[in-house]
């Protein structure tokens, strides 16, 4: 019996394309794969089983950062392998990990002036310099904008690095919010800044010290601790299914 | 598809004021029985062995319980463990990380191991929000009733009670950790409804709620220097002479080495089973969701609960093909998008509980033949997203649903101007390993938190209660496991895998196919001839 040619065998790079297929180059090696696949599916089609380089497969985790180039240009492009469709003549390699610097810190300790749990420093804005203190390399930014140009999430990375330099925590936090920490910005940075870790710090400072704590959450937590709902919950926990059904049917719905 | 979009545009004005009431209980039940995949005949079977012998579960899960061990139990050197700790946490999602943080803070010597990276978990992918009754018009009791109604009144009362009781404190904890909730200038949370909620208690971080929570937890864990080993999958639990859990066997996915961890207590936080693709459904789950923890706990003798119920999220992507099955967050409906059929007509109130909404979509496509045909020949229904901009103002989608907008614009679909096509996707394992309100299982010393646990949500979980339960029970398990470890002065003298050996013997007696091994650790999406030839396991 003639052995059927599978899509997953490597091909000589000059071989004629089968209909509906494109040629991609995995770390330089040519394969013909169905044209509509994402990079991740295409790699699996060639017989590659992911251990590193795949995570959520839904565009949220940053595990599948991929650098590629097409034959017609010298320009390097990037994408998340699970969200990017292959193109004919695509040369690609994954960057499943990047050894960027992460500072370790005690977030609660930044509120040293605080009097008790949940309190904050008298002036949250005074925390601005923390970003540069923990990541002094941000000062080496030469404003080349390579980070912004490469970001697969279209984040204005250089702008949030500049906000960090100015000590503008809220701006740095807001601009970096959609970051999935794929690390591609750091790979391109001539100043060796680990932008995504700077953004992380800014967002945590923003959430913990600049945004006001929800007063109703504090109130409810205190009420629960004081046992205000214990009896009602005990009653419900012991209630029969019919009783629960009747109560459920009578629920008042908030508009 | 274009003529159908025109019909949908034509009905939009009418639909803006159209009220569809909630289904009465009897109609809801008949809808579920008629169209929910859990009720489909021939899709489940009764287990032939183990603590849940005789209970029904989908074939895809049964194949994991009715299987041989993935690693040969005789390969592990139980005499000299590679690691010796107080608390072993297995799993690096929201449940595992919160458990590890709490256990270490309580003074325990903790080790967290995870199959992929820390934060490669469904937590990261959860978009819509986290529930907590923390507003003046709400209470844990009102939340409790919503949870029970959503779960078909089958939930374990003490677990549902713990869930709703701890919720506001969880939100306060997250605030302290710096999680960026959507708030007013005065700090008040901007909360919304989810399917099956009677109060607006969904707390959000745009539509990256899970990612924002997970990255804060991970950052905190790195700052606290909790010891972590990535790319090490647990393939078996260890028991001591008394049948108490005493650690785990790990398989290093990068060099196939088998390692042994001795632990005074063990917390399983290994997540769900989306990647088993029950009934061939696509899934919204992350790459590692292969029910490993269920298999390990079951072989060690732990009782499971509600293993015959899977949650299908009503709105998975039906088109474009490349992202079929990925999640369109319920928040899209919470902020006003409506579901319509091929004629542009609504057919269900959009915020019914998920089991109900998903069944209605399936009914529309299969029975009523009113689905929209996609270019690949599959069917879906419309999610009228441009309506959001009409109801809530232009720019709402980019501001409140940036992840969704990105996902579709990547493929040339602008959801602010065009509706999107949707169909149910396998989303959540409603059941799991039965726990008590401290997270402990029927096996002493074994704790479970997160999606791997069962009983909290009964037969159907509500939106926003999963991000909540991973933290509630992650923290509870962390507290209880560290406390129990403190009380047991000595580690287990003798580690045993006899339960695994016995399981293999029984598997052989029952005649299970030789190649059927579990846990599978990762799904295999490669074509023939590669499929089934794992890069791990073979070296042992």
Query: For the segment B103-146, what is each residue's pLDDT rounded down to a tens digit?
Result: 999 999 999 999 999 999 999 999 999 999 999 999 999 999 99
pLDDT of residue B340: 98
Substitution target from B19, B141, B190, B315 for chain A, most A beta carbons within 10 A:
B141
A14 assigned to some structural domain:
no
Structure tokens at B207: 């539509």
* Active-site entry in B333, B354, B459, B476: B333
Query: How buried is residue A4: exposed, middle or buried, by Cβ count under 10 Å (0-12/13-18/19+)?
Result: exposed
Q: Tell whether the model's pLDDT for residue B414 goes beyond 70.
A: yes
Substitution target from B256, B322, B375, B460 for chain A, most A beta carbons within 10 A:
B322
Give the count of alpha carbons within 13 A of A219, CB side only: 12
Cα gap B32→B52, rounded to integer Å: 25
Q: Averaged over B412-425, what is the pLDDT?
A: 97
CB atoms A104 and B222 under 8 Å: yes
Residues A52 and A75 grouped into a single domain: yes
* Chain B: residue whose CA lies nearest to A42: B526
Instruction: Convert the pLDDT of each residue in A188-211 to its tens digit.
Output: 999 999 999 999 999 999 999 999
Q: Averaged over B251-266, what is the pLDDT?
A: 95
Substitution target from B130, B147, B199, B215 for chain A, most A beta carbons within 10 A:
B215
Q: Tell whether the model's pLDDT for residue B15 goes beyond 70.
A: yes
Residues A132 and A206 grouped into a single domain: yes
Task: Select from B141, B189, B403 the Cβ nearest to the Cβ of A217.
Answer: B189
Residues A219 and A148 grouped into a single domain: no
pLDDT of residue B538: 45
Q: Where do the DSSP E strands lie in A13-59? A: 21-26, 29-34
Residues A113 and A190 grouped into a single domain: yes
Helix (H, G, I), strand (E, B) or coil at A222: helix
Residues A115 and A28 grouped into a single domain: no
Answer whether B190's CB lies under 8 Å from B182's CB: yes
Helix (H, G, I), strand (E, B) or coil at A79: strand
A5 assigned to some structural domain:
no
What is the count of structural domains for chain A?
Answer: 3
Q: Tell whether the model's pLDDT for residue B244 goes beyond 50.
A: yes
Answer whether B245's CB lies under 8 Å from B238's CB: yes
Question: Residue A202: which CATH number?
Answer: 1.10.1060
Q: Give the CA distances from residue B66 to residues A196, B47, B505, in Å, rounded to whole numbers and listed in that order.
A: 45, 7, 12
**For residue B217, which residues of chain A lie inside 8 Å, CB to CB?**
none
CB atoms B286 and A219 under 8 Å: no
Q: Averaged over B501-527, what is the pLDDT?
A: 96
pLDDT of residue B403: 93
* Chain A: residue whose CA lies nearest to B408: A83
Chain centroid offset of residue A74 CA: 28
Please confirm whether the linkage preceding B347 is cis (ω < 30° from 0): no
Helix (H, G, I), strand (E, B) or coil at A87: coil
**For residue A233, which residues of chain B lie inside 8 Å, CB to CB?**
140-141, 144, 161, 164-165
Min Cα–Cα distance to chain A from B195, Å: 12
Q: Averaged over A175-184, what is the pLDDT?
A: 96
Residues A74 and A126 grouped into a single domain: no
- How many CB atoms are closer than 10 A to CB B535? 16
Residues A117 and A203 grouped into a single domain: yes
- Provide the domain limits for residue A158: 107-210
Phi (first) and psi of residue B396, to 5 degrees = -60, -45
Q: Averaged over B374-393, what is the pLDDT?
A: 95
Q: Averaged over A138-151, what is the pLDDT?
A: 97
pLDDT-based confidence at residue B532 (cuts at 50, 70, 90):
confident
Instruction: Convert the pLDDT of each residue in A48-60 to its tens digit.
Output: 999 999 999 999 9
User: What number does CATH give the domain B2-26+314-426?
Assistant: 3.90.700.10
* Chain B: residue whose CA lies nearest to A79: B410
- Please state, rounded to an integer, the average pLDDT across all residues of chain B: 96
pLDDT of residue A126: 84
* Chain A: residue whose CA lies nearest to B526: A44
CATH class entry, domain B73-121+226-309+430-487 = alpha beta
Longest C-alpha distance within chain B, in Å?
Answer: 74
A224 assigned to some structural domain:
yes
Answer whether B4's CB lies under 8 Å from B276's CB: no
CB atoms A233 and B137 under 8 Å: no
**For residue B525, which residues of chain A lie inside 8 Å, CB to CB?**
41, 44
Number of helices followed by number of strands (H, E) in chain A? 10, 5
Cα gap B402→B74, rounded to integer Å: 51
Question: Residue A28: which CATH number?
Answer: 3.10.20.740
A185 assigned to some structural domain:
yes
Instruction: Convert the pLDDT of each residue in B312-369 to its tens digit.
Output: 999 999 999 999 999 999 999 999 999 999 999 999 999 999 999 999 999 999 999 9
Strands B245-252, B232-239: pairing kind? antiparallel
Residues A59 and A126 grouped into a single domain: no
Q: Tell whether the model's pLDDT for residue B161 goes beyond 90.
A: yes
Residues A193 and A235 grouped into a single domain: no
DSSP B189: B
**For residue B164, which residues of chain A lie inside 8 Å, CB to CB?**
233
* Active-site entry in B203, B262, B313, B476: B313
CB atoms B189 and A214 under 8 Å: yes
A130 assigned to some structural domain:
yes
Helix (H, G, I), strand (E, B) or coil at A177: coil
Min Cα–Cα distance to chain A from B428, Å: 14
Q: Tell whether the model's pLDDT for residue A222 goes beyond 90.
A: yes
Task: Select from B120, B220, B402 the Cβ nearest to the Cβ of A178.
Answer: B402
Answer whether B301's CB lies under 8 Å from B51's CB: yes
Instruction: Convert the pLDDT of each residue in B265-292 to its tens digit.
Output: 999 999 999 999 999 999 999 999 999 9
A29 assigned to some structural domain:
yes
CB atoms B168 and A253 under 8 Å: no
Answer whether B113's CB lies under 8 Å from B234's CB: yes
DSSP A213: P
pLDDT: which is higher, B74 or B480? B480
Number of helices followed by number of strands (H, E) in chain B? 16, 21
* Chain A: residue whose CA lies nearest to B163: A233
For residue A175, what is the enclosing H or E element? helix A169-175
* % residues pLDDT > 70 (chain B): 99
* Chain A: residue whose CA lies nearest to B252: A51
pLDDT of residue A3: 44
Q: Tell whether the model's pLDDT for residue B535 goes beyond 60.
A: no
CB atoms B530 and A216 under 8 Å: no
Cα gap B431→B44, rounded to integer Å: 15
> CATH 3.90.700.10 residue ranges in chain B?
2-26+314-426
- How many CB atoms are closer than 10 A to CB B58? 22
pLDDT of residue A124: 76
Min Cα–Cα distance to chain A from B485, Å: 26
Structure tokens at B316: 């998975």
**For residue A254, which residues of chain B lie inside 8 Å, CB to CB?**
137, 193, 198-200
Q: Tell whether the model's pLDDT for residue B50 goes beyond 50.
A: yes
Lowest mean pLDDT among A4-8, A105-109, B97-101, B464-468: A4-8
**B333 belongs to the catalytic site:** yes
- How many CB atoms are closer than 10 A to CB B364? 25
Instruction: Annotate B264-333 with three-state secondary structure.
Output: EEEEECCCCCHHHCHHHCCECCCCCCCCHHHHHHHHCCCCEECCCCEEEEEEEECCCHHHCCCECCCHHH
* Chain A: residue whose CA lies nearest to B403: A178
pLDDT-based confidence at residue A122 (cuts at 50, 70, 90):
low
**B313 belongs to the catalytic site:** yes
CB atoms A56 and B125 under 8 Å: yes
* % residues pLDDT > 70 (chain A): 89
Cα gap B500→A13, rounded to integer Å: 49
CB atoms B177 and A218 under 8 Å: no
Phi (first) and psi of residue A150, to 5 degrees = -90, -15
Strands B110-113, B83-90: pairing kind? parallel
Cα gap B151→B455, rounded to integer Å: 10
Q: Where do the DSSP E strands lie in B322-386? A: 338-340, 372-373, 379-384
Min Cα–Cα distance to chain A from B461, Å: 16
A253 assigned to some structural domain:
no
Task: Select from A51, A207, A232 the Cβ nearest to the Cβ of B178.
Answer: A207
**For residue A212, which residues of chain B lie inside 8 Å, CB to CB?**
183, 185-187
Structure tokens at B506: 């029984």
Q: Give the CA distances from residue B111 to residues B87, B96, B247, B297, in Å, rounded to whole numbers and listed in that order.
A: 6, 11, 11, 19
DSSP A211: S
A3 assigned to some structural domain:
no
Q: Tell whether the model's pLDDT for residue A1 goes beyond 60.
A: no
Cα gap A180→B152, rounded to integer Å: 36
CB atoms A204 and B178 under 8 Å: yes
pLDDT of residue A220: 98
CB atoms A49 and B178 under 8 Å: no
Task: Select from B125, B411, B527 the Cβ nearest to the Cβ of A8.
Answer: B527
Task: Select from A61, A204, A233 the Cβ nearest to the Cβ of B140.
Answer: A233
CB atoms A204 and B326 under 8 Å: no
Q: Domain boundary at A67, A94, A121, which?
A: A94
Instruction: Convert the pLDDT of each residue in A112-121 to its tens digit.
Output: 544 344 456 6
């Amino acid at each position: 019996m003639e052995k059927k040619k599978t899509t997953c065998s490597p091909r000589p790079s000059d071989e004629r394309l089968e209909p509906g297929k494109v040629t991609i180059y995995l770390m330089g090696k040519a394969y013909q794969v169905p044209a509509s696949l994402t990079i991740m599916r295409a790699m699996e089609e060639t017989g590659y089983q992911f251990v590193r380089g795949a995570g959520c497969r839904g565009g949220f985790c940053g595990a599948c950062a991929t650098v590629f180039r097409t034959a017609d240009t010298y320009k390097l492009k990037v994408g998340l392998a699970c969200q990017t469709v292959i193109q004919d003549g695509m040369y690609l390699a994954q960057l499943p990990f990047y050894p960027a610097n992460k500072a370790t810190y005690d977030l609660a300790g930044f509120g040293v002036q605080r009097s008790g749990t949940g309190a904050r420093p008298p002036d949250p804005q005074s925390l601005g310099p923390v970003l540069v203190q923990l990541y002094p390399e941000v000062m080496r930014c030469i404003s080349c904008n390579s980070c912004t140009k490469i970001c697969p999430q279209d984040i204005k990375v250089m702008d949030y690095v500049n906000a960090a330099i100015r000590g503008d925590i809220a701006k740095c936090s807001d601009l970096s919010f959609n970051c999935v920490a794929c690390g591609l910005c750091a790979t391109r940075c001539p100043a060796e800044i680990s932008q995504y870790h700077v953004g992380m710090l800014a967002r945590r400072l923003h959430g913990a010290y600049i945004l006001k704590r929800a007063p109703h959450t504090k109130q409810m937590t205190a009420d629960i601790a004081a046992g205000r709902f214990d009896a009602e919950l005990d009653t419900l926990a012991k209630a029969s299914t019919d009783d629960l059904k009747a109560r459920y049917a009578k629920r008042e719905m908030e508009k | 598809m274009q003529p159908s979009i025109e019909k949908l545009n034509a009905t939009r004005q009418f639909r803006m004021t159209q009220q569809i009431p909630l289904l009465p209980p009897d109609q809801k039940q008949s809808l579920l029985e008629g169209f929910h995949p859990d009720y489909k005949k021939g899709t489940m079977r009764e287990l032939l062995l183990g603590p849940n012998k005789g209970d029904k579960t989908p074939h895809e899960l049964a194949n994991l319980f009715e299987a041989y061990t993935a690693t040969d139990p005789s390969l592990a050197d139980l005499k000299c463990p590679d690691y010796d700790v107080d608390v072993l946490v297995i799993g690096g999602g929201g449940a595992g990380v919160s458990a590890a943080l709490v256990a270490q803070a309580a003074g325990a010597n903790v080790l967290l191991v995870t199959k992929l990276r820390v934060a490669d978990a469904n937590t990261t992918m959860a978009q819509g929000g986290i529930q907590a009754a923390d507003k003046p018009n709400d209470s844990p009791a009102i939340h409790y009733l919503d949870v029970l109604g959503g779960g078909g009144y089958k939930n374990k009362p003490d677990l549902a009670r713990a869930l709703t009781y701890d919720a506001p404190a969880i939100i306060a904890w997250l605030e302290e950790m710096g999680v960026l909730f959507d708030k007013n200038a005065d700090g008040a949370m901007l909360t919304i409804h989810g399917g099956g909620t009677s109060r607006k208690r969904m707390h959000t971080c745009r539509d990256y709620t899970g990612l924002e929570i997970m990255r804060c937890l991970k950052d905190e864990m790195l700052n606290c220097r909790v010891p972590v080993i990535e790319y090490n999958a647990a393939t078996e639990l260890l028991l001591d002479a008394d049948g108490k859990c005493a650690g785990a066997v790990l398989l290093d996915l990068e060099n196939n080495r088998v390692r042994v961890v001795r632990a005074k207590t063990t917390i399983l936080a290994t997540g769900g089973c989306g990647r088993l693709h029950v009934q061939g459904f696509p899934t919204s789950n992350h790459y590692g969701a292969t029910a490993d923890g269920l298999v390990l706990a079951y072989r060690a003798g732990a009782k499971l609960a509600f293993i015959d119920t899977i949650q299908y999220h009503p709105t998975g992507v039906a088109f474009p093909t490349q992202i079929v099955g990925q999640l369109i967050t319920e928040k899209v409906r919470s902020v006003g998008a409506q579901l319509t059929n091929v004629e542009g007509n609504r057919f269900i109130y959009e915020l019914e509980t998920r089991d109900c909404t998903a069944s209605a979509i399936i009914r529309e496509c299969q029975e009523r033949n009113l689905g929209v045909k996609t270019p690949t020949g599959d069917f879906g229904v419309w999610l009228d997203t441009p309506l959001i901009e009409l109801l809530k103002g232009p720019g709402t989608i980019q501001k409140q649903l940036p992840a969704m907008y990105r996902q579709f614009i990547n493929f040339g679909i602008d959801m602010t101007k065009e509706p999107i096509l949707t169909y149910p996707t396998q989303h959540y394992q409603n059941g799991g390993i039965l726990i008590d309100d401290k997270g402990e299982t029927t096996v002493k010393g074994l704790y479970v938190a997160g999606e791997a646990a069962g009983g909290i949500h009964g037969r159907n979980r509500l939106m926003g209660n999963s991000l909540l339960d991973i933290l509630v029970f992650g923290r509870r398990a962390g507290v209880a496991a560290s406390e129990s470890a403190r009380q047991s002065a000595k580690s287990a003298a003798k580690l045993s895998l006899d339960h695994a050996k016995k399981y293999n013997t029984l598997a052989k007696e029952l005649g299970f196919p030789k190649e059927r091994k579990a846990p599978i650790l990762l799904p295999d999406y490669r074509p023939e001839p590669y499929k089934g030839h794992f890069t791990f396991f073979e070296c042992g």
